[in-house]
Amino acid sequence: MLSSKNLLTSIASPGLRREFSLLKNQGFINGKWVAAQGNAKFEVVNPATKAVIDSVPDMNIQDTKLAIDAATEAFKTFRNTTAKYRANLLRNWYNLMVQHSEELAKILTQENGKSLAESRAEITYGNSFVEWFSEEARRINGEILPATTDNRKLMILKQPAGVAALITPWNFPHAMITRKAGAAIAAGCTCIIKPSEDTPFTGLALAQLADDAGFPAGVINVITTNTSNSPDVGKAICDDKRVRVVSFTGSTQVGKILYRQCADNVKKVCLELGGNAPFIVFESANIDLAVSSAMVCKFRNTGQTCISANRFYVQKNVFQEFTSKFLERMQKDIVLGDGMKQNVTHGPLIKKSQIDMVDHLVQDAVSKGAKLHCGGKRLADLGELFYAPTLLTDVNENMEIFAKEIFGPVAVIHQFESEDQVLMDANNINVGLAGYFYSENLSQIFRVARKMEVGMIGVNEGLISCAEAAFGGVKESGLGREGSKHGVDDFLDIKYLCLGNIQY
């Protein structure tokens, strides 16, 4: 394991300095790299090795105000740019992201811990949103309406809403920024990006590439904050009337706080919150396909995704077959370790509170009678944040894990008998982001798809997100949609224009 000093020395060496040319350790406000007003900093560590990567500014309310000032001033002119100009700007940014994809992936792995293969996939996925919105910028159309009298013309105009604050999580630090910022910029908004304190370097690297792409000063600003300052910074963003859009991806608990704080200024709010996705395997399913999809859907990013399969429901007649094949694949396919090492497929959990929570849920379930098929323990020989892939059955309502979004490499499989029963169980929860089911019965496919109370459904498919599709949930999983042609909606104001007394 590298010590903090050794890692910093390595990064500072000429070879690695060239390799990590996008590794920035300052905030980005009004086109300039800046320290925090009070010069405070905090360290960011690699969760796989616990080595310090570098320090970044611990920005506060005063720094946030400077970013809002810059974005507000830039919006005065950026709002008047043509769609073609913004499209070209986004295309330039996209091209640079593609050019620097490998470096972005390595930075992402260093700060997030996921394997380099997964980081490369996220970079490709995240880049696709900027490419998509570079094209959508020229398809934000108004409307001509039929008039009620013959001397009027009625029109609907779509205009940029204003300054947008984008608050993003640690689990997909590249894609969550590009999915939001691409849409905001396509609409003509300016942005303040607040990445997670666990993964700020990807956001700062994207700011450097935006600057290289020719973005005007103030259009993209990145502020970095530690845990202690984040609540105050979030509230300052919500309280400032100049910020007209707040887009947040994270926990339902924090989303509700931001939602309340935005109410006083009646801001536009886009929330992508908790998931707890059901994964249903009917007896008509292709079991091998279901198992392969379950491996990806459950264990991508070591189970730390909002649309991970979280509650497995397998019909009685195929329960044993699915469970045994799934267990075999878990034990065979998953290789835990430092994501920068060859052949590693999965990395650690992001921080101590995360692994403590996962371990508590598993131990509570086992102590109350759940059957442990594999895992169920920390892997201290790999590092303090590694947890063994775990499979549980015989879980009931008396166990904390029963209705909990796990956010870790733990699969819980329930057995069911009827379609009506499993739909009742799947829907009996306060969130509804994504859901998955496997069936070869066409009538059943349409029935179940209609009845599942989620915003996104994978039918015989475990990887469903793409730039072309509308990403978002129902119930307490959030508001609005990201990606697709609907992704720009939260960043636009609709203005009705009535031209009267026209003389023909």
Active-site positions read: 272
Among residues 165, 236, 226, the alpha carbon closest in space to that of 196 is found at: 226
Amino acid at 4: S
**Separation between Cα atoms, residue 116 and residue 102, nearest integer Å:** 9
Pairing verdict, β 243-249 and 268-272: parallel
The dihedral over CA atoms of 369, 279, 293, 103, expressed in degrees to the nearest 10, equals -90
Please give the structure tokens belonging to residue 201: 């370097």
CB 184, CB 161: distance < 8 Å: no
**Separation between Cα atoms, residue 416 and residue 282, nearest integer Å:** 9
Q: For residue 398, with 0-12 CB atoms within 10 Å meaning exposed, 13-18 middle and 19 or more buried, which class applies? A: exposed
CB 382, CB 336: distance < 8 Å: yes
Please give the structure tokens belonging to residue 223: 């502020």
Among residues 358, 351, 344, the alpha carbon closest in space to that of 385 is found at: 351
Q: Where are the beta strands (DSSP E) in 225-272?
A: 243-249, 268-272
